[in-house]
Amino acid sequence: MTRTHIGGLAIGVLLCVTAVGAASEAPEAQLNEREVLYAALLKSQVLDKHRQLVHLSHVCNLVLGGRRYLVVDVMELVKGAVTPRGVNRIVVLDPALAPVQSLEYTTQRPLFCEGNRLFVFGDITVGGVLPEGNVLTFSNDGKRVEVSTRDPNDLPVAATGTRTNAPQ
């Protein structure tokens, strides 16, 4: 694992290796995407200079009007706090990497996208207004969000290749 520091952000890059020993994804590709996301969030002042960025990940892409909107998971902690306190946010970036939506959450986590929907682990509210739910449906270039609930057992499985059932 390689650790790289970008502005106060420590990024660990793990080289993925296939069975034949060839690199399946260059670490530079992963690093460059994070650098670009980090720079876009700094430029748009989504990140707070009084907090420490401890997590930044590109979760998935929403598709709105045939265009790709990036869903980014961000966790910042208050610097110098005796106990860890901070802010978790789901940030949606338009194709030009400008933020169109920032949704705070506590213990919920963004999981995956399907079209214009983002599936979340746990129930979340948008702007602190009910209803709460685990499916966020985006429209109007990402500016409008509708919340609905779907039983976790009925959630679609993200396409990640061949899956087998876990041993019983």
Residue 128: C-alpha distances to residues 76, 103, 125, 145 (Å): 19, 9, 5, 13
Length of the chain equals: 168
Residue by residue, DSSP assigns 39-54 as: HHHHHTT-S-TTEEEE
Residue 112 and residue 158 in contact, taking contact as beta carbons nearer than 8 Å: yes
Residues with Cβ within 8 Å of residue 11, at least 6 apart in sequence = 3, 4, 5, 31, 34, 56
Question: In this predicted model, what pLDDT tens digit does every residue of 32-53 receive, in sequence order?
Answer: 788 899 889 989 998 888 888 8
Banded pLDDT at 151 (limits 50, 70, 90)? confident
pLDDT at 117: 95
Residue 62, H or E segment: strand 51-64
Question: In this predicted model, what pLDDT tens digit does every residue of 106-120 receive, in sequence order?
Answer: 888 999 999 999 999
Number of folded domains that form the chain = 1
47 in any annotated domain: yes
159 in any annotated domain: no
Q: Which domain holds residue 126?
A: 2-154
166 in any annotated domain: no
Residues with Cβ within 8 Å of residue 168, at least 6 apart in sequence = none
Question: In this predicted model, what pLDDT tens digit does every residue of 50-80 receive, in sequence order?
Answer: 888 888 899 999 999 999 999 999 999 988 7
Least confident window among 28-32, 128-132, 137-141 = 28-32
19 in any annotated domain: yes
Residue 131 and residue 125 in contact, taking contact as beta carbons nearer than 8 Å: yes
42 in any annotated domain: yes
76 in any annotated domain: yes
164 in any annotated domain: no
pLDDT at 7: 42
Least confident window among 48-62, 82-96, 102-116, 120-134 = 120-134
7 in any annotated domain: yes
